[in-house]
């Protein structure tokens, strides 16, 4: 492999990472991957003496770093969420699910959005706006089968989970069971002490 080909490969890698970043559902991941791609592309631009391209990518790196710091500082703050119990036919709940349905399917591949078997539902709100949706089905012994535990991309820093699981016991919930898709959900479940048992994830309060 000659030097010219190696240089071209650097450019392709940088471009690919920038492109892939826009497929990230998490804003934080998008900016991290975009920053790495932009850095690599900056190096490539300097090598081929394309200085306008280099300057543009340096600016992108600076913008991404600024917002990553801002996101990091925001995630460290204690957000004051509200837990609102809503009926399953609540218009805002239905609207929120419909608006986020594509992202929900990305987070939980194959999940049915038919919640006709559900018996309880909550919306987690921040500054009066929906930030998360929790839908469950009550079973015996104060257990809730989780049908949907979804957070909007900008709130995926585990803060909603911490808030939600601190509040549910006050509504009489003693345990939770999750048996849905876990492809993108394992880290969340493990962080909040869900234990895998007989193919399901179980959390006891």
Query: What count of Cα atoms within 13 Å lies in the side-chain half-sphere of residue 136?
Result: 21
pLDDT category, 1, cuts 50, 70, 90? low
d(CA 61, CA 37): 9
Contacting residues for 135 by C-beta, under 8 A, at least 6 apart: 88, 115, 118, 120, 121, 122, 146, 147, 148
Long-range contacts of the stretch 35-41 (C-beta < 8 A, 24+): 35/60, 35/61, 35/64, 35/65, 35/68, 37/13, 38/14, 38/64, 39/14, 40/10, 40/13, 40/14, 41/11, 41/14, 41/15
Q: pLDDT tens digits for 177-186? A: 999 888 888 8
Q: What is the pLDDT of residue 77?
A: 55
Whether the pTM exceeds 0.85: the reply is no
Q: pLDDT tens digits for 108-152? A: 999 999 999 999 999 999 989 999 999 999 987 789 999 999 999
């Amino acid at each position: 492999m000659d030097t010219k080909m190696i240089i071209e490969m650097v450019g392709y890698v940088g471009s690919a990472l920038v492109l892939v970043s826009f497929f990230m559902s998490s804003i934080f991941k998008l900016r991290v991957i975009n920053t790495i791609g932009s850095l690599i592309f900056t190096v490539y631009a300097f090598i081929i003496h394309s200085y306008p391209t280099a300057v543009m990518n340096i600016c992108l790196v600076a913008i991404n770093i600024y917002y990553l710091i801002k996101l990091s500082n925001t995630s460290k703050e204690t957000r004051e969420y509200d837990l609102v119990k809503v009926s399953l036919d609540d218009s805002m709940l239905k609207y929120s699910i419909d608006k986020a349905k594509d992202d929900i399917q990305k987070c939980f591949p194959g999940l049915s959005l038919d919640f006709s078997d559900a018996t309880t539902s909550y919306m987690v709100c921040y500054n009066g706006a929906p930030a998360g949706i929790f839908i469950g089905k009550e079973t015996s012994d104060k257990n809730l089968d989780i049908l949907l535990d979804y957070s909007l991309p900008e709130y995926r820093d585990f803060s909603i989970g911490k808030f939600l699981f601190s509040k549910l016991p006050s509504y009489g919930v003693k345990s939770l069971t999750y048996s849905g898709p876990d492809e993108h959900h394992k880290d969340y479940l493990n962080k909040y002490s869900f234990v895998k048992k007989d193919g399901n994830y179980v959390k006891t309060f």
